[in-house]
Chain A
């Protein structure tokens, strides 16, 4: 189980080596769309032309070699469950029979649900909020029941999806209704089946075993990115340390907020511990877009950089070169004009790209940007490695000591690289052993 405090669960983590996420939901609920929007930068409007996915697909989320999360998409139309859920629930009255029924059906459908659940750390279940979600909830209930039996440590993240069409009040009502329905199902089934379950989801001992988080999401705004970030963050074994590091950076450099973003997917893999707001998240996403777009237009191939990035790709950490290069080429031509003028956009980019992510081919070790906003706010972006960027929100007075921030960020970068390398070594050693 992923744990924020990290250390004590290290053993477990390294044994698993790769956190795995199971993405499922009824058919046409938007699973593939979500993946495409997040991981392959598909325009949300294009997703309506996507065909439904016929078979189990698997995707990897990796920031370079740092993070490695496997995302499996289980299609909704597979008959992984018997068509009449009610019979299986009522059949469950007779004790353990019902889950086995499920199992046979699962295997018959071609996918061993039990095995999938055993392997995964979290289940992302997508409910189409614009559709009638009763059937969806029934399926979720079955998954949770099965999951609780085979792998009680699974986190369940329910995305109440396609909420962009709904008004604010309807959103809340939908969420509340879904929440209540799920709770009712567990209250019913636990009351009917066996007494030990009763304690697990009753009000006084709320969901002792099952963790269900709800997210209202839509691919047409940033909510899907934010929700997915939350899911990823929960799965990251290093999240606790990252948060600690970010907090430390904050207090040392007089920064207000700090985020660690994956450039490619705009997923924030870590934040500081202050309460997050979707607006700041959007701001950061837009900043990434701006930086990438500017770099793509004005970025020029630089021979040094090519070498540099290649080294980086090989080892994912080549500190001497990076540092040296950074100090020599960071040119922050300050332009204190008002508004949202990007001040520094490092034009040095690599012309060739050897990694598999095309969008990051202009993002390299010298990418950095400072944007001053109205309202005495500024955004500070610095590359951490080829895939990660640190984005800070700070008051523009704090920029008067930008050297300190630069230095601290450099230190922070080093620590993060060390942290991930350590982690990687750990997992490799455990894999080999």
Chain B
């Protein structure tokens, strides 16, 4: 809006012109009223004229018309206007020819062969109109003086020792004797003095191959370089220290192919990338994590762009065959889309929230400069005490889903012997609730598991240990480390903001990390889900938090400005990898997460947001499984796509340039004024520590083992975790099914004559954990497991699999041996598919000689052993690793 008060040099309208494809050079002349667009199929001179009150591109001449034959002179690789003679310009060609053109009677004035290879860049000397500098692929940069009489006019040749070709050159606008060069395969930028051709006066060391350069017009010793490493660096060329660090560093979105400083603000630099990004970003070098503005007028890769001299208008050509003239006001100011509030949850149990600071210079400046009319209450409301406090006290649970790694059982040994061994080896603690005892239990049990060649079980125990026992120490450590770092980084404000907030705004890739489990499984050679997915969509990324956060006893810490940068320190490590197949689940959780924002978003256009229910992000009791999936996803699909982070209250009207509301945004403050506010200043991040709840993980794990006939493992896990989780939680998780498991296990132990162990467990349960075991042996006779298992196998609500329609108690009460036709008592076995079986001895002898079911149903029970081991899943819950399940 201040821009509108400025004397209008040029029209601010956006207009475009259709050109042929493949244009890669665009050069406005020094007055800004003519422009040449050139490339493989183009060589046009266009004028920018006012026609019918609006500015337009008007074609003045097409140089390709005059020549019939394919002439390399007509496919310029670069164009340079003569700064002192506006009728004259030079073009370079792939054949190393330099052509001088006159636009008055459009003709080729002169043609000089300078180089043996493509000329990549030419530039007229800023003060001496007869002198021109060329940079070529053949490894030479040459100074051309048209006043000399020798044939090729070359007065000086510059060559780097590496003999690499020159990619770009630019003469310093202030000191016309100094020029900087970008070399093809070198990660250095030499600066030459035109008067001494031997060696560069100075060499800057960049990190990767540099492709482009730009001197700052207003700060003549600032040199910006950009290249393959996607980074724009701004150097102080007065500092001759060879090891100097760049003044500013900006991470761009792709290989930087062209840079240009904005004429009206010496902190702003526009950059385009080589391949990916159809946008031209204008970066404020002081704020490296978010572009100041983005020109999004093109649909395809940018060929070239240039600021129209002395204006805020940007001219650009792209592969989509358009030449566009656009004012910066038509560019998208990315920071206005940055959410005011954002939350991030990490796997280590931290919740980070960033929110606007109510009382700081930035807000005061906003108000004092009357960028916000008093009538406008939206921002005030945004910043109101009420919202801030609710936000601060935000303590709702985020229902999340965790992914359980699927362990493959490498060695299948279902023998009674191994059951004995495990029963003897595994311990279940003494009821001590401390983490230490859990660690001991887990260590012990994992050692036993390894000895018995069950690395998968070992991994399980170690994961349990990691989740429940180690996490206290982990959190203490993290708190400690995050407390320590800010002091060292505080004074480097810019770079901090660069790295610190990279993880915060939605343009950056954001991985989260959850899987302790997965990583553990990985370490023990187990089949696991590959939990990585790269969702790189043009640098956009959704933040997904997947953890369950438990609120009630959380303690909120307000972090003062000194600790602002904690965020970076922690977030870099905490990465959740999400598999595509989990996207479904995540979608659910994610939708829930944004349910309320969605509502706000619908409201936000024009109207200030509704306030009081904002922070109640999640209805803590809502069970998303109750919601039909498609309804959820359809309804919130838009919300997900548009909002990358929690947007509790977007600043109203930010996306409607034609809104009646003047822009309440601070960007006017940024131009050259000292009052530059980074987002750091306007935000006060806080960190909360919540103990993470892995209930879901445990639940799934134990269910997994129960369903896969590893009742022993499940019970031992339960017993080990009992002190940690507590009665209530376990009851809630397993809905009393676990009583049965324990009882069955005790029963099994007894049947296998492990009476001591059975007694130990009974005692442990009754005395230490107060588990009510109403042991009544008459209830649990021979068919006990099947009777007990069928109801337990109905997963409470999550399971979509229809539960067995059989009435297990009636059909299975008398399990008849198929061989001898006598009801089975004690241990017997049956096929997991056809449910036929009988006494172990009978069945064993039968299958010594047969493959088919002894009952005569035709099922080849024995074959299943080899076929279906891998694809065992919930749907085949009765199948086991061996064709027969031992039961009693």
Contact = CB atoms under 8 A, between A and B. Distances in A.
Interface of A: 3-5, 167-169, 172, 175-176, 179-180, 183, 203-209, 211, 213-214, 216, 230, 234, 240, 243-244, 247-248, 250-252, 254, 256, 273, 275, 277-280, 375-376, 395, 397
Interface string B21-44: 110000000000000000011000
Given A203-B240, A395-B21, A395-B22, A243 B203 contact: no
Contacts of B41: 254
A277 B211 CA distance: 11
A176 B207 CA distance: 6
Nearest to A157: B185
A4 B163 contact: yes
B646 interface: no
B201 interface: yes
Nearest to A176: B207
Nearest 5 pairs of A and B residues by beta carbon: A203-B242, A205-B199, A273-B137, A172-B207, A206-B203
24 contacts: A4-B139, A5-B116, A167-B572, A168-B229, A172-B207, A172-B208, A172-B231, A180-B243, A203-B203, A204-B201, A206-B190, A207-B161, A213-B186, A214-B187, A244-B116, A247-B117, A250-B40, A252-B70, A256-B40, A273-B117, A273-B165, A275-B211, A277-B274, A376-B319
Contacts of B208: 172, 175, 216
Given A206-B188, A278-B255, 11 more contacts: A172-B229, A179-B187, A208-B161, A213-B162, A213-B186, A240-B138, A251-B70, A254-B40, A256-B40, A376-B300, A395-B21
Interface in B760-791: none
Contacts of B186: 213
Contacts of A4: 117, 137-139, 163, 165
B161 A204 contact: no
A209 B640 CA distance: 57
Contacts of A207: 161
B286 interface: no
Given A3-B163, A206-B188, A277 B275 contact: yes
B200 interface: yes
Contact of A244 (B40, B117, B188): B117
A252 B202 CA distance: 40
A125 to B, nearest CB: 16
Interface residues of B, number: 52
Contact of A206 (B117, B161, B572): B161
Contacts of A214: 187
Nearest to B96: A244
Contacts of A279: 275-276
Contacts of B187: 175, 179, 213-214
Contacts, number: 111
Contacts of B190: 206
Given A256-B22, A280-B275, A243 B117 contact: yes
B118 interface: yes
Contacts of A176: 205, 207
B260 interface: no
A318 to B, nearest CB: 30
Contacts of A5: 116-117, 138-139
Contacts of A208: 161, 199
A213 B185 contact: yes
Nearest to A6: B116
Contacts of A278: 228, 255
Contacts of B163: 3-4
Given A250-B40, A254-B41, A243 B205 contact: no
B507 interface: no
Nearest to A203: B242
B313 interface: no
A172 B118 CA distance: 31
Contacts of A397: 21
B139 A204 contact: no
A211 B275 contact: no
Contacts of A172: 207-208, 229, 231
A251 B21 contact: no
Contacts of B274: 275, 277
Contacts of B275: 277, 279-280
Interface string B684-726: 0000000000000000000000000000000000000000000
A204 to B, nearest CB: 6
Interface string B306-341: 000000000000011000000000000000000000
Interface string B206-245: 0111010000000000000000110100000000101100
A3 B229 CA distance: 27
B585 interface: no
A275 B185 CA distance: 10
Q: Which of B22, B209, B276 has the most CB of A within 10 A?
A: B22
A207 B200 CA distance: 11
Given A5-B139, A204-B201, A247-B94, A254 B162 contact: no
Contacts of A167: 572
Nearest to B201: A204
B70 A204 contact: no
Interface centre among B40, B276, B300 (most CB of A within 10 A): B40
Contacts of B203: 203, 206
A240 B117 contact: yes
B120 A179 contact: no
B202 A251 contact: no
B72 interface: yes
B304 to A, nearest CB: 13
A256 B209 CA distance: 21
Pick from B117, B165, B320 the residue with the most CB of A within 10 Å: B117
B738 interface: no
B319 A275 contact: no
Contacts of B202: 203-204
Contact of A275 (B116, B207, B257): B257
Contacts of A209: 161
Contacts of B205: 176, 179-180
B499 interface: yes
Nearest to A3: B163
Contacts of B347: none
A252 B22 CA distance: 13
B242 A375 contact: no
Nearest to A7: B116
B458 interface: no
B344 interface: no
B167 interface: yes
Nearest to A204: B199
Nearest to A375: B300
Contacts of A395: 21-22, 319
A420 to B, nearest CB: 20
Contacts of B198: 205
Nearest to B499: A169
A189 B165 CA distance: 30
Given A183-B242, A203-B242, A211 B120 contact: no
B446 interface: no
Given A203-B242, A214-B187, A376-B319, A243 B94 contact: no
A408 to B, nearest CB: 11
Given A5-B139, A205-B199, A243-B137, A211 B117 contact: no
B75 interface: yes
A247 B70 contact: no
A319 to B, nearest CB: 25
Interface string B793-825: 000000000000000000000000000000000
A8 to B, nearest CB: 10
B320 to A, nearest CB: 8
B500 to A, nearest CB: 13
A177 to B, nearest CB: 11
A326 B296 CA distance: 45
A230 B185 contact: yes
A209 B300 CA distance: 44
Nearest to A209: B161
Interface in B566-608: 572
